[in-house]
Amino acid sequence: MDYFHYVGDRLYCEEVPLDDLAQTVGTPFYCYSERTLLRHLKAFQQAFAGVPSLICYSVKANSTLAVLDSLVRQGAGLDIVSGGELARGRRVGCPAERIVFSGVGKSEAEIRAALEYGILMFNVESPSELRRIDRIAGQMGIKAPVALRINPDVDPQTHPYISTGMSRNKFGIPHRQAMAIYREAMRLPHVSPIGLDCHIGSQLTTVEPFVEAVRRVRLLVDELRAAGVPLRYLDLGGGLGIPYGRGESPPLPDLYAQAMLKELEGLPLILILEPGRVIVGNAGVLVARVEYVKEGDEKRFVITDAGMNDLMRPALYDAYHSILPLERQFDREERTVDVVGPICETTDFFARDRLLPEFREGELLAVRSAGAYGFSMSSNYNSRPRPPEVMVRGDRFAVVRPRESLDQLMAGESAFPEG
């Protein structure tokens, strides 16, 4: 459920017409609905309200400060995967005790910065990382709170590029090594193993893989507790999918929560959840203008001023995004087209062989469900300045990041110095 909708023939975000925004900021641009963001967060918080729990929004889905600020004010914690994301969390004033740090390749500097801030815990992905954290915490004269990220080896039945919980994936510690590595963590002087973590993948559209993973994890938690590991937190990761408009109907947060809580009954641990996509995905659109319509021999191409550098999910995952005209017309013919960008790559497309209302040159369109892994994955490829981001709150809006200028595009660069 989101707040992008037609009023008459014009597409609105909450109470603001998107074509008005296009006039003000130019195209392409991202637009986020704050009400949608907060609604999704609240749905998650309420679904787990019956048990001690903390919702740590996964920053990598959309790390824009305005998004983080809205969510943190509403009580969200943050799941970070880099020192840069830690800095963003600090910038919006996220309390340290609401931050967890995931990722397979944490650098020394990142670990030190997180320890200095005093985060809730590290989700540790290898024995080497565990020893590195122990050593750095030792130098600082403190003890680092850690969870081990366990790879439960279940198939999340999603796109292979966003599967993380199978034994062939680089993520986590193999299930059967867990006990030995927890024992090592108990012996190390400067880490305290207080949690267990797992995250099996992204854009899951059924609960079964989650249930299978949580069953395996529960057995392991029971074993670890019996062996005297002082676990206090169970982090179930993120991964709940969203409807992209191709008939998916992923479980709502409520149903997902019920399925998880049923498996965890009687377990006296604080639950942590790391939703990303399900919070921001359908809270954002990418608005673009049709530059040209070109009739090929085999296909008709609608060429927009947004490209794969702005939204790379179709290029990266062959992802589906629905596309809407900003001005609806009921008598319009439909055409099968490819909607493509200006980038010099064949993977630069937003839709392929898609039946859409006939778009004319100069017209505006919205690529839906672009709030997650949209701007946060954008780049300057083809030396294109990144688009602005606008946030809407009711009938007001703010440009929360201006369009990049050409000076910003080349900032800090220089030719090799003479002499």
Ligand X SMILES: *Cc1c(COP(=O)(O)O)cnc(C)c1O
Residues that bind ligand X (CB under 6 A): 58, 60-61, 79, 102, 199, 202, 237-240, 274-278, 372
Give the nearer residue to ligand X in terms of CB position, either 240 or 319. 240
Least gap, CB of 238 to ligand X (angstroms): 3
Half-sphere exposure of residue 400, counting CA atoms within 13 Å on the CB side?
22
| Tokens linked to 331 | 């008598």
Give the nearer residue to ligand X in terms of CB position, either 322 or 376. 376
CA distance 274 to 387: 27
The answer to whether the CB of 283 falls within 8 A of the CB of 13 is no
CA distance 304 to 315: 15
Residue matched to tokens 């854009």: 203
Give the nearer residue to ligand X in terms of CB position, either 27 or 158. 158
Give the nearer residue to ligand X in terms of CB position, either 274 or 310. 274
CA distance 212 to 197: 15
The answer to whether the CB of 356 falls within 8 A of the CB of 350 is no
Least gap, CB of 79 to ligand X (angstroms): 5
Residue matched to tokens 């937190």: 233
Least gap, CB of 61 to ligand X (angstroms): 5
Annotated catalytic, 198? no
Judge if the upstream peptide bond of residue 28 is cis by omega within 30 degrees of 0.
yes
The answer to whether the CB of 201 falls within 8 A of the CB of 156 is yes
Least gap, CB of 293 to ligand X (angstroms): 34
Amino acid in position 104: V
**From 13, 31, 94, 344, the catalytic residue:** 344
Give the nearer residue to ligand X in terms of CB position, either 171 or 359. 171
| Tokens linked to 115 | 């320890």
Least gap, CB of 235 to ligand X (angstroms): 8
Nearest CA-CA partner of 397 in 17, 2, 3:
17
Catalytic site positions: 344
